[in-house]
Amino acid sequence: MEIIDISKDILKTPVYPGDPEGYLDEIKSMKKGEKCNLNAFYTCLHTATHVDAPLHFVNGGASIDEISLATFIGECVVVEAPPGPVTGAFAEDNFPFNAERVLIKGNGNSYLMESSAYCFADTNVKLLGIDSQSIGYGSSNEIVHRALLTENIAILEGLDLSKVEPGKYFLMAQPIKISDVEAAPCRAILIKDHLFWTGTRWFASESSWMQNVECRMQNFGRLRLDCNLRRNYEIR
């Protein structure tokens, strides 16, 4: 199993233009002869790797603590996009709209246009991530956010996908639990080369050696299930 950290350091990542800078407040230090180390920190909730909740742009929308954690855990697809604006035409031709979680790798320079945002808004996508500071840009930034968040699509921004190849992975990106706010930092990871039971079927991160896995499961020594994991990663 390989775990890929796709999070950015919350105190070392440049903030979005206009947002306040974060800082670390040293309260106690063992280097100063005190009995323990104790720190506090200040940050904008939209710094580095974070999740936007509907409340960010939707009046009365769900806050970050009200989004189901199932949204942030499960199968995902990483898709590469060219730098600059991602058009609706490109999205329709290249993005898997049947996936529940999609991460866009654009080397930190891609962003959705209104047309591509509305493409995602009309799908079953639960979470849309990107390695840019914001999923939108310029005058269309608010429209892009609103199009997605109105449909309760969680937005995962500020990812580090520099070491990630396009393909299928297992995502874990739970935001910090903070009541009544519109966003929160998260520690996002991708897992590859592993087998998961999703509750209804098996899922394997994409890997050639998993295409013909034989798995055997025993339930208290009485129930034995022999099965073949096919190329589509479902047990039939």
Catalytic residue (one of 46, 50, 56, 145): 56
**Active site includes 56?**
yes
Question: 6 Cβ partners below 8 Å, 6+ apart?
Answer: 49, 103, 159, 160, 161, 164, 188, 189, 190
Beta bridge partners of 186: 175
CA distance 221 to 230: 26
CA–CA distances in Å: residue 148 to residues 59, 144, 169, 200 = 14, 6, 23, 28
CA distance 91 to 128: 13
Q: Of 92, 86, 93, which is closest to residue 135 (Cα–Cα)? A: 86
CA distance 53 to 127: 10
DSSP string, 67-115: S-GGGGEEEEEEEE--SEEE-HHHHHHHS-TT-SEEEEESTT-EEE-HH
CA distance 147 to 55: 13
The answer to whether the beta carbons of residues 190 and 170 sit under 8 Å apart is yes
CA distance 161 to 35: 39
Residues involved in catalysis: 56
